[in-house]
Amino acid sequence: MKYPVILGRVTSAPLRKDANRNWQRIVAVGRRYVDEGTPIQLNDVAKAASVGVATVYRHFPSPESLMEAVAAPGLESLETLAEQALAKDDPWTALEDFLLDAAHASITDASIPAVMAAPSVLPATAERKHRLGRLFGELLARAQAHGAVSPTLTAADVAPLMCAVAYAARLRSSDSVEARAAHARRYLSILLRGVHQQP
């Protein structure tokens, strides 16, 4: 069941069919705008989704709330990948695999870095980001306890390093999205070799 965004919060009450259909159309337009690199302006979204401006604002009171709805599936996927990584036997492989997946996601879905870098406007987004942070902290702590990563490296260190990798990959603007994602994975692999220690 979809839990639509209403007045800046996530409600567990399902929408009527017509309202849910409008919600889906609005989010689909938001997704398209993000993929095209078009700034989200709610009046423009309303026109593109063929719904009234008031309808858009009922569901999404700000462009940021719509951006968070667009990013929600990608963030949920990252949570799942982090949980799967924690189930792996080798702590270094688990950390490396998750970071490579995260780098790929940040290049192929522009809503993810945008939402991760900004203050959350929806409680559900804040909770999801908190869970992601906790899961990543566990992955890093496990690798450090295993002796595979220096204990001086912190989760706060990793975030700007990931941003630098994504920035370097995006400089190759003439490449396809998948090609830029491949470059990001390569750059990150080089960086990770620098922080990896043999236990």
CB 118 within 8 A of CB 64: yes
pLDDT at 15 exceeding the cut of 70:
no
* pTM of structure: 0.85
Full domain range(s) for residue 39: 5-61
CB 91 within 8 A of CB 142: yes
State how far the Cα of 33 lies from the Cα of 41, in Å rounded to an integer.
Answer: 9
CA 131, CA 29: separation in Å to the nearest integer? 28
**Same domain assignment for residues 141 and 169:** yes
Quick one: which of 44, 64, 53, 61 has its CA closest to 22?
53
What is the domain-level CATH number for residue 18?
1.10.10
Residue 66 lies in a domain: no
Residues 80 and 175 in one domain: yes
Instruction: Give me the pLDDT at residue 7, please.
Output: 37
Backbone φ and ψ for 78, nearest 5 degrees, come out as: -65, -40
The answer to whether 175 touches 101, Cβ cutoff 8 Å, is no
User: For the segment 45-89, what is each residue's pLDDT rounded down to a tens digit?
Assistant: 999 999 999 999 999 999 999 999 999 999 999 999 999 999 999
pLDDT tens-place string over residues 92-151: 999 999 999 999 999 999 999 999 999 999 999 999 999 999 999 999 999 999 999 999
pLDDT at 95: 97
